[in-house]
Amino acid sequence: MAVYLVSVFLLLTQCQASPFDYPPPTNSSLAEALQIEVGEINNTSQQLLFSTPPPPGTIRRTPQTIIIGVRKGGTRALLEMLDIHPNIAVAATEVHFFDWDENYIKGIEWYRSLMPYSFENQITIEKTPGYFTSLQAPERIHSMNSSIKLLLILRDPTERVISDYTQVYYNRLENHKPVQPFEGIVIKNGALNTKYKAIQRSLYDVHMERWLKYFNLNQIHIVDGNTLIKTPLTELQKVERFLNLPPRIVSSNFYFNQTKGFFCIRSDGKERCLHESKGRPHPVVNETVLEQLYSYFREHNHRFYQMVNQSFDWH
Ligand code: A3P
């Protein structure tokens, strides 16, 4: 009886420490995590308490790969699509370990406790888009694992700003807060408001410079977010090669959903699209404002292309 009580106590404390402990994240728990990410479920510990224990032979490992960003680049799509691969185990939530001091001080064991259970032949991946623009993340990740492989998904910087704005716009609407038109935020006193956080996040050269102080370029694979939208398989095959994984993701893992206007995932006999908060229509932006954004980013983009020896189809 005492043993039974101790086991129940241990199970309870484990579940409270991390509501995602049981079961190891699967596609359905990823979908659930996405709902949590957008604030639809607050506490799943009760339903997880009675779920199955982890498969024998699995343990939690710190990630061998991290998707470091960029916010609104397509990070969720990339993670969910990589989760198709049998040799990949993905963390269900955005952990914010390396960019939030209040989490970082909890230590590496706390971080590891949030990773999925994985087999020895699996690569653990977590994604926290805020890492890319964080001042501390590069050094902290380097001190955990200096030979880690990083994935960075980027899209046209102007599109990214509009996507960032759209996300905040809908969040404010949901919270009954006032909203402003895009142009009202981006233009101040007739000039581009370069202090706007969403614009600063799109200065890829500025952020990349910090990462290259700690990591070799060949440790960072850049995924083209615009291509991931149009032809996901092309980008995922490149990631498989970068991670030295056998090619397992195939064209039948994707199908185009006309209603959503995006590719959705077919895996393990199930079909699923990303949450409705991903791929929302953007506002129509005034042409002059668009031109101002394109021209502001142009120089930064060129500097970025030189830094990474690669160019992209951005404005
Ligand atoms: P929008 O919602 O502005 O279109 P993140 O996951 O980093 O927040 O990125 C969200 C973006 O992922 C979406 O921005 C969308 O354009 C992009 N995306 C890429 N592939 C997608 C897919 N298959 N389904 C939905 N969104 C996808």
- The CATH code of the domain that includes 133 is 3.40.50.300
Q: Are residues 21 and 87 in the same domain?
A: no
Q: What's the confidence (pLDDT) of residue 31?
A: 41
Q: Are residues 19 and 161 in the same domain?
A: no
Q: What's the confidence (pLDDT) of residue 270?
A: 97
Q: Are residues 73 and 46 in the same domain?
A: no
Q: Domain for residue 12, yes or no?
A: yes
Q: Domain for residue 314, yes or no?
A: no
Domain ranges, residue 8: 2-50
Whose C-alpha lies nearest to ligand 1, atom 8?
A: 72
Shortest-distance atom of ligand 1 to CA 282: 3
Q: Are residues 21 and 93 in the same domain?
A: no
CA 277 to ligand 1 center in whole angstroms: 8
Pocket of ligand 1 (CB under 6 A): 71-77, 129, 163, 166, 228-229, 262-263, 274, 278-280
Q: Are residues 24 and 66 in the same domain?
A: no
CA 268 to ligand 1 center in whole angstroms: 22
Q: Are residues 93 and 211 in the same domain?
A: yes
Mean pLDDT of 232-239: 98
| pLDDT over 90 at 268, yes or no | yes
Long-range CB pairs of 189-193 (<8 Å, 24+ gap) are: 192/292, 192/293, 192/296
Please give the residue that has the higher pLDDT: either 195 or 5: 195
| pLDDT over 80 at 48, yes or no | no
How does residue 213 score in pLDDT terms, banded at 50, 70 and 90? very high
Q: Are residues 15 and 67 in the same domain?
A: no
Q: From the CB of residue 271, how many other CB atoms can be counted at a distance below 10 Å? A: 10
Mean per-residue pLDDT over the chain, rounded: 88
Lowest mean pLDDT across 12-16, 28-32, 305-309: 12-16
Whose C-alpha lies nearest to ligand 1, atom 15?
A: 279
| pLDDT over 50 at 33, yes or no | no
Please give the residue that has the higher pLDDT: either 106 or 33: 106
Q: Are residues 102 and 6 in the same domain?
A: no
Q: Are residues 34 and 171 in the same domain?
A: no
Q: Which segments are annotated as binding site for 3'-phosphoadenylyl sulfate?
A: 72-76, 155, 163, 278-282
Mean pLDDT of 13-29: 33
Q: Are residues 146 and 229 in the same domain?
A: yes
Q: Are residues 43 and 127 in the same domain?
A: no
Q: Domain for residue 154, yes or no?
A: yes
List the strands of the sheet with 220-224, edge to edge.
88-90, 123-127, 65-69, 149-154, 220-224
- Number of domains observed in the structure of the chain: 2
Q: What's the confidence (pLDDT) of residue 290?
A: 98
